[in-house]
């Protein structure tokens, strides 16, 4: 059956992500038509048991205390709250109102998310111990050893933000502006993120390019980032000013002295996904496939899907865009008390922790001969999971990675539903949302099962399949 090609407007929409991933998932469930993977549904209960154990271990039955998945968590690494002191500092400044506080946090979170792609197994950020910081002996030991992966990237970015690295105005260090962003070469990023021989961060050039492109966007006069004053520079946080004037944004039906509003997730998503004037314009074109003459980011071709649908087989993931959206939702809700509707359209994030959990529990199983044929590997050992140890890193465009990510999106929905059933939360006020499950169960579970299976010294370990990272996808 031939379907018309899916247009770019559709593939940029939140709804397209789950819909297209479901079509890929159906191929393996119905007739095992995927090229590189099969799904073993019988292993789902084991994943649910493991995830439920993690929830019980970390939160007990206090399910409402589980925070949503977002960048905010990573600023709390080693049980140290690094955001509250900033908020207290700004609150004590009479020139900083709640909206400006929101702008500053959006500034920080945007660059922190753009910095948040796989850093590699080697890299760690050693946090300077501030005089005002009271820490335990365990925390001091963690500081000396450094903080790796997503938490390390967040903490390193926060310290750069506090030092004014992202601002060109010494009088206002806690902001992000295009003049400062334009100067952030790979060597400068390496310097403030402590990347060097023996502590090498992967994807430095990709991160630098993203930050510089963000600077170009902010200098372009984009409607989404209106500068506060005629001669001032635009900032990521000015998206708040755009939203406040959006025709589809409305005051809540109660006292609105603090500017509290209700807005659809689609308003924020437009700012983030628009490939011309929004944050979608900063994603690289190299290695991406143009669709309808446009480059729209984290969208890839699934050949197995195209063989069935004949519609191009394009599958959108928009992982970093969704990660940014999840993170900004929390900022806007906490600092401005905004109510954001429709966030259920968003999906689980198809990245290596969530997806790695599924491979490590053998829910998603490789088809050895497909990998051997695709990569020209010897057939000496074609057993499924022995093969995984010998695979070279694969590009995000490789059909095996596209299939794996699509399966991950749908599996996360099923895991969320099954956890709620197991914990008898279905239909209750405590029923876990997808962002809560991502935070307390699947993302954490992917990291913990990786440590169990592959860590050599008890430290964090990489995923069961390696992906080439340029700092702009994973």
204: its two tokens: 């430095």
Q: How far apart are CA 268 and CA 349, in angstroms?
A: 18
Task: Write down the pLDDT at residue 129.
Answer: 74
Residue 446, φ and ψ in degrees, nearest 5: -60, -40
Secondary structure class of 452 (helix, strand, coil): helix
Secondary structure class of 249 (helix, strand, coil): coil
Task: Write down the pLDDT at residue 254.
Answer: 58
Q: Measured on CA atoms in the order 235, 239, 245, 250, is the torsion positive or negative?
A: negative
In 3-state terms, the chain is what percent helix, strand and coil (to 5)?
50, 5, 40
410: its two tokens: 């749908």
Task: Write down the pLDDT at residue 206.
Answer: 87
Task: Write down the pLDDT at residue 203.
Answer: 86
**C-alpha separations of 276 from 201, 208, 301, 360 in Å:** 30, 20, 22, 39
Is residue 305 classed exposed, middle or buried when 0-12, 13-18 and 19+ CB atoms within 10 A define those classes? buried
Task: Write down the pLDDT at residue 134.
Answer: 47
Residue 304, φ and ψ in degrees, nearest 5: -65, -40
Secondary structure class of 394 (helix, strand, coil): strand
Q: How far apart are CA 162 and CA 238, in angstroms?
A: 19
Per-residue pLDDT of the chain (474 residues; tens, 9 = 90+): 455 557 899 999 999 999 999 999 999 987 899 999 999 999 999 999 999 999 999 999 999 999 999 999 999 999 999 999 999 999 999 999 999 999 999 999 999 999 997 788 889 999 987 633 544 444 454 556 799 989 999 999 999 999 999 999 999 999 999 999 999 999 999 999 999 999 999 889 989 999 999 999 999 999 999 998 888 999 999 999 999 999 998 877 655 445 578 899 999 999 999 999 999 999 988 888 889 889 999 999 999 999 999 999 999 999 999 999 999 999 999 999 999 999 999 999 999 999 999 999 999 999 999 999 999 988 765 666 677 888 999 999 999 999 999 999 999 999 999 999 999 999 999 999 999 999 999 999 999 999 999 887 656 688 899 998 776 777
Residue 60, φ and ψ in degrees, nearest 5: 60, -135
Task: Write down the pLDDT at residue 242.
Answer: 97
Q: Which residue in this structure is represented by tokens 């890193």?
A: 393
**Three-class SS of 225-246:** CCCCCCCCCCCHHHHHHHHHCC
Task: Write down the pLDDT at residue 446.
Answer: 97
**C-alpha separations of 468 from 11, 391, 394, 398 in Å:** 24, 12, 6, 10
What residues have CB less than 8 Å from 30, skipping those under 6 apart?
Answer: none
Q: How far apart are CA 433 and CA 333, in angstroms?
A: 16
């Amino acid at each position: 059956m031939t379907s018309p090609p899916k247009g770019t407007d559709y593939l940029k929409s939140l709804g397209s992500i789950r819909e297209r991933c479901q079509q890929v998932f159906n191929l393996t469930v119905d007739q095992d038509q995927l090229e590189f993977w099969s799904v073993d549904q019988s292993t789902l209960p084991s994943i649910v048991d493991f995830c439920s154990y993690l929830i019980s271990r970390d939160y007990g039955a206090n399910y409402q205390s589980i925070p949503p998945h977002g960048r905010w968590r990573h600023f709390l690494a080693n049980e140290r709250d690094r955001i509250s002191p900033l908020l207290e500092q700004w609150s004590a400044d009479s020139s900083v109102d709640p909206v400006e506080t929101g702008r500053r946090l959006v500034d920080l979170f945007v660059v922190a998310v753009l910095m948040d792609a796989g850093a590699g197994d080697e890299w760690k950020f050693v946090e300077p111990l501030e005089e005002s910081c009271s820490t335990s002996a365990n925390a001091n030991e963690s500081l000396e050893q450094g903080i790796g992966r997503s938490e390390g990237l967040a903490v390193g970015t926060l310290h750069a933000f506090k030092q004014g690295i992202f601002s060109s105005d010494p009088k206002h260090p806690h902001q992000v502006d295009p003049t400062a962003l334009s100067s952030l070469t790979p060597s400068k990023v390496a310097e403030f993120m402590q990347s060097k021989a023996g502590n090498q961060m992967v994807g430095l050039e990709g991160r630098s390019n993203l930050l510089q492109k963000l600077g170009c966007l902010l200098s372009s006069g984009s409607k989404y980032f209106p500068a506060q004053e005629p001669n001032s520079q635009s900032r990521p946080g000015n998206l708040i000013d755009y939203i406040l004037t959006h025709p589809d944004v409305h005051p809540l039906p109660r006292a609105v002295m603090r500017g509290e509003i209700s807005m659809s997730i689609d308003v924020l998503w437009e700012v983030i996904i628009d490939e011309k004037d929004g944050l979608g314009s900063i994603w690289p074109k190299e290695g991406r496939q143009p669709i309808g003459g446009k480059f729209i980011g984290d969208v890839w071709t699934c050949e197995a899907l195209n063989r069935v649908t004949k519609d191009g087989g394009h599958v959108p993931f928009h992982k970093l865009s969704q990660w940014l959206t999840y993170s900004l939702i929390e900022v806007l809700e906490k600092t401005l008390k905004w109510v954001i509707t429709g966030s259920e359209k968003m999906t689980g994030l198809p990245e290596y922790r969530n997806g790695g959990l599924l491979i490590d529990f053998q829910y998603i199983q490789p088809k050895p001969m497909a990998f051997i044929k695709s990569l020209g590997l010897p057939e000496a050992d074609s057993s499924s999971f022995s093969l995984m140890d010998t695979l070279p890193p694969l590009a995000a465009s490789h059909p095996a990675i596209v299939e794996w990510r699509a399966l991950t999106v749908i599996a996360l929905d099923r895991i969320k539903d099954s956890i709620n059933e197991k914990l008898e939360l279905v239909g209750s006020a405590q029923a876990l949302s997808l962002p809560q499950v991502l935070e307390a169960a699947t993302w954490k579970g992917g990291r913990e099962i990786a440590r169990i299976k592959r860590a050599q010294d008890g430290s964090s370990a990489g995923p069961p399949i390696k992906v080439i990272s340029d700092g702009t996808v994973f």
